[in-house]
Structure 1
Amino acid sequence: MQREVQWFKEVEKLFDPAKIGEIDVERNTFMDHFTVNHKTLSEEGEKWMKNTANSCMIVSTLVATVVFAAAFTVPGGNVGDTGIPVFLRRADFLVFAISDALALLSSSTSLLMFLSILTARYAPEDFLLRLPKRLIIGLGSLFFAIITMMVAFGAALYMLLKDRWESIYIPIIILGCIPVLLFAKQQVPLFYDMVQSTYGSGVFKKKKTW
């Protein structure tokens, strides 16, 4: 649908600007004809966008829930009734705190982006830039949230086990990279295609002039 709208916009440039809003005997403009002729494609695009947003929204909600809970149950606990974390002055605790905060912020961002996709009006013009841009931001922030969540997990595991079971926590941290790699393998091609089709050269490749 995005490609079809891009074609329409390129062809529209070839017409006299004064005639673009011109209506026929049935009082339909060029865009009205385009909307009618691409109704089925528009519905399929809307269905795909909503299904993708719903699926990613579940993951975003899960990540946000986990990292939000981790912020209040820090590794090692707190000192007495002061609420100060035991590992506050350690560098690995700083890594945990920063990565956990970034995971919460990025997962919340992706959640809002996917929610905005579900509540969009899905007009033909929205498929040109608005909807793809929201999906790009949503996927990018979700991928970043998963990475920072696993970093927070690795830092927490390091703080708890480094003094006793070094042979255990290192393999676990390495295995923690598997979810990130699986998500990247499945979603990076889609992310790349969306960026290329939205911010690339478009349907008509512009030739360089020397």
Structure 2
Amino acid sequence: MKANDERKRFTPTDIKKTEDTHLIVAALIATVTFAAGFTMPGGYDGNRGPNQGMAILTREIAFKAFAVTNTIAMILSTCAIEIYFFGAPYKDRDKLLKHYNSAANLVVVATVAMVLAFITGTYAVLEQSRALAIAVCVTSCLFFGIFNNLIKERFNMAIELSSL
């Protein structure tokens, strides 16, 4: 009896409402990371010569890590948006949940990549002031402690939903 009550709680309409919120989050991540890809940490070399227009910090390891994690965040959030669009026409609860879970997991990983991009980009820019760079990075890493608790809840909920 309880399983039937739980199943009724998650109707296609409820799933679509939650997807709408996730779609906004995925679009924001895609937008922010896209903009960050062009607004390079440290800026561009404006001096005439072979490096004109190139990112100033291109050779820094932290900058390379920023570029990779920023790209991962943008690609995964864009993939999540596409999954939500492809799943939108479905009326079947199980198909909706399948698309919802796939896209939601991509948004979660994109969020982690976006935070890592922030941390590495900030470190690249503040590297000359190492103490400040480390303080900002350590403070930013508090996200992962909070995130760890939230992700446990999310995966437990996903397991419960898939078993209904």
TM-score higher than 0.5:
yes
1:148 aligns with 2:113: yes
Of 134, 143, 146, the residue aligned with 1:170 is 134
| Per-residue deviation, residues 126-184 of structure 1 (Å, max 9, x unmatched) | x33x22221221121111111111111111111111212x3323232233234454455
Supply the distance in 2 between the matched residues of 1:187 and 1:152 (Cα, whole angstroms).
Answer: 19
Aligned to 2:126: 161
Q: Is the 8 A contact 1:132 1:194 kept in 2?
A: no
Compared with structure 1, are the counterparts of its residues 59 and 177 closer, same or farther at alpha carbon in structure 2 (3 Å cutoff)?
A: farther
Of 89, 93, 113, the residue aligned with 2:59 is 89
1:116 aligns with 2:86: yes
| Per-residue deviation, residues 65-112 of structure 1 (Å, max 9, x unmatched) | 111001001111112263211111222111111111101001111122
Supply the distance in 2 between the matched residues of 1:183 and 1:52 (Cα, whole angstroms).
Answer: 19
Aligned to 1:137: 102
Q: Read off the aligned partner of 1:96 and give its amino acid letter.
A: F
Aligned to 2:18: 52
Moved over 6 A (4+): none
Supply the distance in 2 between the matched residues of 1:116 and 1:194 (Cα, whole angstroms).
Answer: 20
SS in structure 1 of the partner of residue 11 of structure 2: helix
Supply the distance in 2 between the matched residues of 1:113 and 1:67 (Cα, whole angstroms).
Answer: 19
Aligned to 2:37: 71
CA RMSD across the alignment? 2.6
Q: Is the 8 A contact 2:29 2:74 kept in 1?
A: yes
Supply the distance in 1 between the matched residues of 2:82 and 2:66 (Cα, whole angstroms).
Answer: 24
SS in structure 1 of the partner of residue 128 of structure 2: coil
Any stretches of 5+ residues in structure 2 without a counterpart?
A: none
State TM-score, norm by structure 1. 0.64
State TM-score, norm by structure 2. 0.79
Aligned to 2:70: 100
Q: Return the structure number with greater helix share.
A: 2
SS in structure 1 of the partner of residue 57 of structure 2: coil
Identity %: 23
SS in structure 1 of the partner of residue 12 of structure 2: helix
Of 57, 62, 68, the residue aligned with 2:28 is 62
Q: Which has the larger radius of gyration?
A: 1
Any stretches of 5+ residues in structure 1 without a counterpart?
A: 5-37, 204-210
Q: Read off the aligned partner of 2:60 and give its amino acid letter.
A: R
